[in-house]
């Protein structure tokens, strides 16, 4: 149940970001946290992949009880490529794990 809740939270933020304008996305700081209504800490970072590709990677992680040093990570993100906004594919998301 927790896995689905966390993955849905990062997916929802990625979808919300994809609705912003390219200028709004480009003007965001390079990294930071994102508010959500789920009480889940979400962070993001911007990564320039090529001259014309920018990724905004969204990450949430949680501790796996009862193992305080074991974390589960949840990824989502968007890409700005050739002045178009799209969701990151599985291969691209795998680069951030």
Instruction: Give the integer Cα–Cα distance in Å for 42 and 46.
Output: 14
**Predicted TM-score (pTM) of this structure:** 0.90
pLDDT tens sequence across 25-82:
999 999 999 988 788 999 999 999 888 899 999 999 998 888 889 999 999 999 999 9
Position 77 scores a pLDDT of: 98
**92, 97, 80: which is closest to 18 by C-alpha?**
80
């Amino acid at each position: 149940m927790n896995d689905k809740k966390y993955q849905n939270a990062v997916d929802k933020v990625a979808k919300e970001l994809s609705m912003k304008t390219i200028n709004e996305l480009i003007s965001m700081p390079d990294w930071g946290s994102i508010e959500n209504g789920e009480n889940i800490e979400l962070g993001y970072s911007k990564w320039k992949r090529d001259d014309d590709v920018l990724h905004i990677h969204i990450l949430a992680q949680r501790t796996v009880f009862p193992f305080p040093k074991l974390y589960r990570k949840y990824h989502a993100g968007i890409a700005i490529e050739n002045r178009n906004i799209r969701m990151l594919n599985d291969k691209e998301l795998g680069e951030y794990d």
